[in-house]
Amino acid sequence: MPQRRENMKPLSVWISVAFVSPLLALNSAVHAEGAAPTYSIKEETGSHIIRKPVQNIYVPPDKTYAELTPEEKQRIKSFYEPMTEEDEPPYPEHGLRAILEAALELQQRLLIDGAMFLAVSVDASGKGTSVAVYQSPDEQLTRAMAGVLMFTRYKPAICHGVPCKMEYPFRFQFKVR
């Protein structure tokens, strides 16, 4: 059972990230065989020790949707019901890094273990309008992450060549080691 750890200093805090539609299961081939590369965010430690507190990101966190390769775009699209070539899901306007760094900062303060699954509804103008909570280890963490997702600007989804409303899912696995 997920639990909050009070008054403990972690040896390391990390977040594992995957993107999953609330309606679809993960593409097991991508995860089981490791066919797709994963990315991480390194933490500056001031030493030669490499710390990667944010791991298992399935697209480069610093790229916008337009900067992603066709394979990376397809990886994101695969988490939705089938889309035509011209259709696109919503995506954080400046990439994932700011959201992931906010999640890491919250994790370092709250020291939560457990899975979180949220989906932000993005309107046709790229604004988050609501956040659905499908799984959460902690109410305070959920409120904070929902705020981060709501205040993030998104590239709107494209449906049949026109901007449209669509959810963008976020799945985090918070761990304290």
pLDDT in tens, 73-120: 998 998 899 899 899 999 999 999 999 889 888 988 898 889 999 999
- Pairing relation of β-strands 91-92 and 154-155? antiparallel
pLDDT at residue 142 in the model:
95
Q: Which domains does the chain have, with CATH numbers?
A: 21-176 (3.30.2420.10)
Structure tokens at 61: 């966190």
Q: 170 and 15 in contact (C-beta within 8 Å)?
A: no
Report the chain's mean pLDDT, rounded to a whole number: 77
pLDDT in tens, 46-78: 554 444 445 567 788 899 999 999 999 998 998
DSSP code at position 76: H
